Amino acid sequence: MVSDKVLLLNSLKDLRENELKEFQWHLKNDHESISESEMEKADRLKTVDKMVECFGPEEALRITVKILKKINQNNLAVELENKHKQGNRNMTKAQLDYFSKAETCLQCDGLQNNSFVVLYFHSDLFLSHRSG
């Protein structure tokens, strides 16, 4: 799966220099956590890093889509949304497959003295010693 940062970077790579400057202008004017000095000489890599640092990957993607639409890059905005959604669907399917296989592997016949209880908590697996 492609990371959110790579998706953001690929979207910005599709912008011409003047379009990137307009994107950065909206970014710094619409969001107080991004200063003008940070965007003044920022290339695509620094722009993506700063957005993810300030907003986190999910919010950075949402903001990017919004700004792309503002600068009439609607096709690019839709493409970014679709790639992100596809990545989430693939991850969800991969997680389900993983836990299904893990559950099968962890099933065992009841051990009398040193048995373990398997607990799933979101995406983490916890083993708990069962007494008695």
Q: Where are the domains of the chain?
A: 4-103
Is the pLDDT reported for residue 53 higher than 90? yes
- Across 37-60, b (16+ Cβ under 10 Å) vs e yields ebbeebebeebbbbbbebbebeeb
Query: Which CATH number among 3.40.50.300, 3.40.50.2300, 1.10.533.10, 3.90.550.10 corresponds to the domain 4-103?
Result: 1.10.533.10
pLDDT of residue 122: 46
Region 81-105 average pLDDT? 64
Region 75-99 average pLDDT? 74
Is the pLDDT reported for residue 129 higher than 90? no
The Cα–Cα gap between 83 and 2 comes to 9
Region 89-104 average pLDDT? 56
